[in-house]
Homo-oligomer: A and B are copies of this chain.
Amino acid sequence: MKPATIRDVAERADVSVASVSRVLNGAGPVTEATRMRVLEAVEALQYVPHSGARSLSTSRTNTIGVILPDLYGEYFSELIRGMDVAARARGYHLIVSSSHDSADEASAAIRSMRGRVDGMIVLSPHVGAANLASGLAGRTPILLMNGGADVERPSIVIDNHGGAVAAVEHLVALGRTRIVHIAGPTGNLDAEARMAGYMEAMARAGLPPRVVEGAFTKASGHEAGESLAAAAERPDAVFAANDNMAVGAMLALQDAGLRVPEDIAIVGFDDIPLVSLVRPALTTLKINIAETGKRALQRLVGSIESAGEVAAAACEVVRPELVIRPSSVAATTPANRYARHRSLATAGEAISKGEHPDDQV
């Protein structure tokens, strides 16, 4: 049995299709009596409007596409959560496409979304991906969240450089001098900006930089940690380009018998929920991930709905905040570390507090 159409409903309610449409969209004048008859028919026939047909005549899909490099780790999961909440609040749906590690895959994903979304949020931290994305999207509004600051296009970027500088300055203030950076993958703009910030801050402090390669994964952080533990001149601090690697490195260093933070201090980047759950909890640069996702969605929807208007093509900057935890500063009362992080971590805002109690741990 084929699904009911608006005509079936109209027939059963003994009205015209126009009236059915008016009732269903709450637009236009209808008598209370007709409204009732229509709703009853809708119910009886289990009618659901065909979204394709609707989108054909309105040329709106009420759907936002999200292109992610990968869903691994907690970073992206948090981000999507923020977006989804914001999307639903505005009547939009989210189409996600993840696991694009190459520019090719990402552009295929963008192409296949064209025509079925009203706008797209692209997180493609690869060099050139920004231009690529906006080229491929055609007329589809797009919001970039890739690493490179791009003032031309609507985008949200993290102040990676500033965050890295803050990390190094924190370590320097603690008296650390042999500060190593575990870098993210080459070609990743976030990673490169963080490295640049590290280099600059080290130079300013008059310290020699030392960089170990990484790939943003826990495994690569672990490897880096192993090599540092075995190295001739052992560092007294590590600044990893993200939390995942910081955690991996910390485990390797601890397994090698080093004490954190006494022998070696560790600082990460992102503040994923995990980092307050490892011991010692990790000092990091906090980005309010879910909130950033929500913000991205809001901006995109705003520019979609304002259509022709001057869509303020501003590049918005998110400034990470240094959250100090025991991985860089020894806890005064080791027996009660847990309570300590809680108070040290800045309070979560609306999203994380209300809907995601885990963030608070």
Residues of A whose CB lies within 8 Å of any CB of B are 1, 3, 46, 48-56, 61, 63, 70-74, 76-78, 80-81, 84-85, 88, 93-99, 109, 111-116, 138-139, 217-219, 222, 244, 247-248, 251-252, 254-257, 273-274, 277-279, 335-338, 355-358, 360-361
Closest to A226 in B: B338
Q: CB distance A85 to B61 under 8 Å?
A: no
Q: CB distance A222 to B361 under 8 Å?
A: yes
A3 CA to B141 CA, complexed, in Å: 13
A336 CA to B251 CA, complexed, in Å: 10
Q: CB distance A115 to B51 under 8 Å?
A: yes
Q: A88 to nearest B CB, angstroms?
A: 7
Q: CB distance A72 to B356 under 8 Å?
A: yes
Q: Quick one: which of B54, B88, B219 contacts A358, CB cutoff 8 A?
A: B219
A154 CA to B195 CA, complexed, in Å: 50
Q: A55-B52, A63-B95, A219-B361 are in contact. Are A84 and B71 (CB under 8 A)?
A: yes
Residues of B within 8 A of A73 (CB): 77, 358
A72 CA to B74 CA, complexed, in Å: 9
Q: A120 to nearest B CB, angstroms?
A: 12
Q: A138-B3, A248-B361, A358-B217 are in contact. Are A93 and B113 (CB under 8 A)?
A: yes
Q: Quick one: which of B48, B54, B99, B255 contacts A337, CB cutoff 8 A?
A: B255
Closest to A248 in B: B361
A94 CA to B355 CA, complexed, in Å: 23
Q: A51-B116, A97-B93, A99-B85 are in contact. Are A71 and B77 (CB under 8 A)?
A: yes
| A63, A257, A277, A279 — most chain B CB neighbours (10 Å) | A277
Per DSSP, chain A at the interface is helix
Q: A50-B56, A71-B81 are in contact. Are A255 and B336 (CB under 8 A)?
A: yes
Q: A74-B77, A255-B336 are in contact. Are A84 and B98 (CB under 8 A)?
A: yes
Q: CB distance A99 to B84 under 8 Å?
A: yes
A77 CA to B84 CA, complexed, in Å: 13
Q: A213 to nearest B CB, angstroms?
A: 15
Residues of B within 8 A of A115 (CB): 48-51
Residues of B within 8 A of A358 (CB): 72-73, 217-219, 244
Q: CB distance A94 to B95 under 8 Å?
A: yes
Q: Quick one: which of B84, B112, B138 contacts A96, CB cutoff 8 A?
A: B84
Q: CB distance B74 to A338 under 8 Å?
A: no
Residues of B within 8 A of A112 (CB): 93
Q: CB distance A218 to B81 under 8 Å?
A: no
Residues of B within 8 A of A247 (CB): 277
Residues of B within 8 A of A46 (CB): 138
Q: CB distance B56 to A52 under 8 Å?
A: yes
Q: A108 to nearest B CB, angstroms?
A: 9
Q: Quick one: which of B49, B78, B338 contacts A222, CB cutoff 8 A?
A: B338
Residues of B within 8 A of A360 (CB): 219
Q: A332 to nearest B CB, angstroms?
A: 14
Residues of B within 8 A of A217 (CB): 357-358, 361
Q: A52-B61, A56-B56 are in contact. Are A96 and B96 (CB under 8 A)?
A: yes
Residues of B within 8 A of A98 (CB): 80-81, 84
Known: A248-B277, A251-B277. 5 other contacts (CB 8 A): A48-B111, A70-B356, A77-B77, A88-B99, A93-B95
